[in-house]
Amino acid sequence: MSTQLLELLANREKAGHSRGIYSVCSAHPMVLRASMQRAIADGSPLLVEATCNQVNQEGGYTGMRPADFRELVHRIAEEEGLGLDRIILGGDHLGPNPWRHLPANEAMIRAEEMVREYAAAGFTKLHLDASMACADDVMTLSNATVAERAAQLCLAAEAAGLRERPVYIIGTEVPTPGGATESLAELAVTDPDAARETVEVHRRVFHRHGLDAAWERVVGLVVQPGVEFNHDSVVGYEPERALGLKQLLPEFGGMVFEAHSTDYQRPTAYAALVQDGFAILKVGPALTFAMREALFGLAAIEDELVAAGQRSRLLEVMEEVELASPKNWQGHYPGDFLRQRLLRRYSYSDRIRYYWNEPAAEVAVSRLMTNLAAMLLPETLLSTWLPLDYDEVRRGALRAEPMEIVLRHIRRALEPYAEACFPARQAVREGERVLCA
């Protein structure tokens, strides 16, 4: 699938407009299913990425190794009728991050093993990110050190000897993946000189390691275009702030920029980002946020329709599992108990996403769906708790069924990405796709 991605990015200026691709960064089956439905409607390829923390040779927080994630994606694609030739698998932030508590040599050995597994499992877009400091490193690594470690990771991937060699992304963004924890008042756009130095240093180091052929497949550089979100606010894209980066791009010989943390932008921002050279748009928390929003709305409807002893208690269950294992939110959400409780449920950072695969959470979601699938959902309750879905149900564009409502919520979050990245596609109307299913 690396050839497909290379062709899409290389030909992005044809037909008079810039094209890009969005990257779905989630391992949740509902998000994957909704994303595939969106790709089918658009007739577009689908780029799905797993992060080093989600999926690695030790299982990550999902319990999946790269081959397991591939099988999950392929199984859902077959169920939805999306051809496997339309799917591009990627690995995000592949580097020593999961093991940064270890000395650098040991962390890099594990990172190399992880990259080999990703490559062998058929992931053909690999983001090599060795920017994080390990236990015996200085706090901020030099460009030379980061590039040297990226080259080691690239050598590991190339050693897999696969017929279809992967394409690579280099660089990283600040703040760290998944949303900022600090104030966004001083969010800085990547300095063009710093971006140029990153590329040049990586080019020299790759050449020194005999990776010239692999360098030809380095298709993108991660930079900060001035978009970010934290727990309760979003910094919107301002094209004038990224003008220096846009003007720099022609120097990179066909490379594009990859923009992380593009979640929650206004719809017009995505087209502007693609036009300005940010041709790969990463989205993750916004999709599980949309899923959570739909599930919580359905849980409120359930409270009105189902006897107390038979309810899913979804909100209470999610609170219980988060409190029982606080490591994924406690260091991120500030404030007193009430403030943290609010953030656990409703934060843009959406760290609740780490808990949906907990057994108790899965049981609660399953009970919610079973309870509501067995009854007619009153339009008046949909209007109160899920007004966008109510409107589509009234128009006959959406079935009033719980799973269809959740998937529609997720697809709705993807719409501005699809419209920005594939403007020439003749997308099937959502209502036609749903009613003909």
Q: Where are the domains of the chain?
A: 2-283, 289-413+429-435
The span from the CA of 106 to the CA of 282, in Å, is 29
The span from the CA of 204 to the CA of 319, in Å, is 50
The span from the CA of 437 to the CA of 428, in Å, is 12
Architecture of domain 2-283: Alpha-Beta Barrel (3.20)
Q: Where are the beta strands (DSSP E) in 316-406?
A: none
Per-residue confidence band for 105, with pLDDT thresholds at 50, 70 and 90? very high
Two structure tokens written together for 274: 């693609």
Query: How confident is the model over 96-103, as a mean pLDDT?
Result: 97
Backbone dihedral region for residue 434 (phi beyond 0: left; psi -120 to 50: alpha; all else: beta): alpha
pLDDT digits (tens, 9 = 90+) for 256-303: 999 999 999 999 999 999 999 999 999 999 999 999 999 999 999 999
How many other β-carbons are positioned within 10 Å of the β-carbon of residue 155?
A: 17
- Residue 434 pLDDT greater than 60, yes or no: no
Two structure tokens written together for 215: 């360098």
Per-residue confidence band for 426, with pLDDT thresholds at 50, 70 and 90? very low
φ, ψ (nearest 5 deg) of residue 90: -130, 155
Q: What pTM, to 2 d.p., does this model score?
A: 0.93
Contact (CB, 8 A) for 389 and 382:
yes
DSSP conformational letter for 182: S
Per-residue confidence band for 305, with pLDDT thresholds at 50, 70 and 90? very high
| DSSP per-residue letters across 53-118 | TTBSTT-GGGTB-HHHHHHHHHHHHHHHT--GGGEEEEEEEESSGGGTTS-HHHHHHHHHHHHHHH
- Residue 179 pLDDT greater than 80, yes or no: no
| DSSP per-residue letters across 178-247 | T--SS--TTPPPPPHHHHHHHHHHHHHHHHHTT-HHHHTTEEEEEE--S-EE-SS-EEPP-GGGGHHHHH
The span from the CA of 75 to the CA of 100, in Å, is 33
- Residue 338 pLDDT greater than 60, yes or no: yes
Q: Which pLDDT score is estimated for 53? A: 93
pLDDT digits (tens, 9 = 90+) for 339-366: 999 999 999 999 999 999 999 999 999 9
DSSP conformational letter for 376: P
Among candidates 87, 417, 95, 127, which has minimal Cα distance to 267?
417
Q: Is the peptide bond before 175 cis (omega within 30 degrees of 0)?
A: yes
Residues 6+ apart with CB under 8 A from 71: none
Superfamily of domain 289-413+429-435: putative tagatose 6-phosphate kinase domain like (1.10.400.20)
Two structure tokens written together for 139: 């706090």
- Residue 16 pLDDT greater than 80, yes or no: no
The span from the CA of 56 to the CA of 64, in Å, is 7
Among candidates 133, 209, 212, which has minimal Cα distance to 168?
212
φ, ψ (nearest 5 deg) of residue 302: -60, -40
The chain-wide mean pLDDT, for the chain, equals 92
